[in-house]
Amino acid sequence: MAVTVESVADAMYAMVKEYQGKKKLKAGDLTKAMIAQFEAEGCDKKMCKAAIRTLMDSGKCVYTYFGGSFIEIPHAEGAAEQASSG
C-alpha cells in the first residue's frame, strides 16, 4: 500500500509536536525519520519535501532560524494571547 503525502505530513506534524520544546528538528531529521518509517510504502525525499511544503502552506508548522533552519509549530505571541482573552 502506497503512503500519501498527507499521511507523511500528519506523521511529521506529530513528530514535531512530540519534540516541541525538547529538541529542534531540521527538515533533514524529519525526512530521515519518515523514510525510515514509510520506506516500504514508497516514501522518498521528494514525497517528504512535498509533505513539508504542505505543513508550511497550511500554517501548521513554520521555519525558524537559530544557527540553522528548524521546523516548529508556530508559537503563540504573548500579545495575541492577551488580546484574545481580554
Pair 24, 72: CB distance under 8 Å: yes
Helix (H, G, I), strand (E, B) or coil at 70: strand
pLDDT at 1: 65
CATH number corresponding to 5-85: 1.10.10.10
pLDDT digits (tens, 9 = 90+) for 68-86: 999 999 987 765 544 444 4
Q: What is the DSSP string of 28-62?
A: HHHHHHHHHHHGGGT--HHHHHHHHHHHHHHTS-E
Helix (H, G, I), strand (E, B) or coil at 10: helix
Cell reading at 71: 521546523
Spans of all domains in the chain: 5-85
- State pTM to two decimals: 0.85
